[in-house]
Amino acid sequence: MKFKKILSIVLAICCLVSTFIFSGCSLTDTGTAMEINGVEISDDVFTYFLDLAVVDLGVDAPLKSLKEKATAYAETYFKTNSLAHSQGITLSIAEKKAVSEKVNAHWGFYGEYYTKIGVTKETLTKIFTADSFREALLVHYYGTGGEEEIPLARLYAQFKTNYIVFQAITGYLTQTNLNGQTVKINETEKEALILKFQNMSAMVNAGEQNMEQAADFLAESGYQGSVQTVVLHKDDTSYPPGFFEKVKNTESRRATVIGTEEFIFLVLRGDADTKSTYFNEKRTEMIEIIVGDEIDKKIEKSLMVETKIDNSLANGYYSLIAKEKGDK
């Protein structure tokens, strides 16, 4: 009896989920191209996943393979929404705003194309909301207070492996000539600039100036205008190659001069502890690195599904996608 009661609750939840998440306007009057567990998946959502399969496999891939790929995407979407609702997960105002911003940005790039294949901004909202549910499930199970909470020490170790936090003042060893070309400054200017940075480093370490004051002094000398606080990922390419390791190897809270072919940096590395904003803003990302595969497995195993595809409709949507991509 207890099992039947639980089963009835789960079925009721799935029914509610289908009403609010999966239903939508079909592009035809003859039903939808896909059903999962008897729930119609709106054709715009199916088309989005079919298009995603084309992006992954290529427009010339066998149609059977494309439909299988689209089915896998749709089933994950269905399971993610179902699990999130069964766990009572809702998105915060900030999370909904992030979804909206992502939709608008994506639509700005692909809106014209999506309109031609029947995908709308509402479609993207559904898709990206499911993505946000996945992240929320990640935190729900593995974040603070979760069933499988990851110890703070492990999260922090992962953060220190992937990120450094530092203040930096940047000087340039190049300039633009009258022809608009980037050329190296002469040796005299280079030596003067290096000496300025070395002197500032010594003054910061002696406590005579802080980094902001050093930046102001250098700006008055015509070199640099401000100090930046940077949270840098090890794979970030916005700084020269090897820069991450050089900064990571510096002594914490001790100003150091780092030079490259085109730049010179006055760097002060900090220690972002577990209470810092820098660390806490990256907590979810650290959880993702550690157990991202595990949440995907949990979602996959959360629900048995039976999927049906109307091949006639699916083939028609594929032809529309292929036509818009210029192949047919």
Q: At what angle do helices 121-142 and 43-57 cross, to 10 degrees?
A: 80
- pLDDT tens figures, 180-226: 888 888 999 899 889 999 999 999 999 999 999 998 888 777 666 67
Which pLDDT band, with edges at 50, 70 and 90, does 30 fall under? Answer: low
Rg of the chain in Å (alpha carbons): 27
Higher pLDDT, 272 or 72: 72
Based on the domain organization, do 215 and 116 belong to the same domain?
no
Based on the domain organization, do 124 and 56 belong to the same domain?
yes
Question: Is pLDDT at 249 greater than 70 in this prediction?
Answer: yes
Contact 24, 44 (CB under 8 A): yes
Q: At what angle do helices 311-324 and 43-57 cross, to 10 degrees?
A: 60
> Given this model, what pLDDT does residue 181 score?
86
Is residue 278 in some structural domain?
no
Contact 150, 268 (CB under 8 A): no
Query: SS3 for 260?
Result: coil
> Given this model, what pLDDT does residue 26 score?
46
Is residue 86 in some structural domain?
yes
C-alpha to C-alpha distance for 220 and 321, rounded to whole angstroms: 59
Based on the domain organization, do 211 and 234 belong to the same domain?
yes
Based on the domain organization, do 262 and 292 belong to the same domain?
no
Question: Is pLDDT at 55 greater than 70 in this prediction?
Answer: yes
CA angle (281, 286, 290) in 5-degree steps: 165
Tell me the residue type at 248. K
Based on the domain organization, do 143 and 161 belong to the same domain?
no
Based on the domain organization, do 144 and 287 belong to the same domain?
yes
| Tokens representing residue 46 in the block | 């199916």
The closest of 224, 219, 222, 242 to 232, measured between CA atoms, is 242
Is residue 68 in some structural domain?
yes
**Mean predicted confidence (pLDDT) in 219-238:** 84
Tell me the residue type at 200. M
Based on the domain organization, do 108 and 251 belong to the same domain?
no
What is the spatial order of strands in the sheet that 163-172 belongs to? 228-233, 163-172, 263-269, 256-259
Range of the domain at 98: 2-152+283-324
| Tokens representing residue 114 in the block | 């999506």
Contact 39, 22 (CB under 8 A): yes
Q: Which range among 67-71, 138-142, 207-211 shows the weakest confidence by mean pLDDT?
A: 207-211
- pLDDT tens figures, 107-138: 999 999 999 999 999 999 999 999 999 999 99
Is residue 160 in some structural domain?
yes
Is residue 277 in some structural domain?
no
φ, ψ of residue 27 in degrees (nearest 5): -85, -5
The number of distinct structural domains making up the chain is: 2
Is residue 140 in some structural domain?
yes
Name residue, tokens 């084309």.
Answer: 54
Based on the domain organization, do 45 and 131 belong to the same domain?
yes
Tell me the residue type at 60. D
CA angle (196, 202, 207) in 5-degree steps: 125
Name residue, tokens 């479609």.
Answer: 123
> Given this model, what pLDDT does residue 5 score?
40
C-alpha to C-alpha distance for 226 and 214, rounded to whole angstroms: 9
> Given this model, what pLDDT does residue 1 score?
42
φ, ψ of residue 114 in degrees (nearest 5): -60, -40
Based on the domain organization, do 104 and 23 belong to the same domain?
yes
C-alpha to C-alpha distance for 302 and 147, rounded to whole angstroms: 15
Based on the domain organization, do 315 and 227 belong to the same domain?
no
Sign of the CA dihedral running 186, 190, 193, 195: negative
> Given this model, what pLDDT does residue 23 score?
47
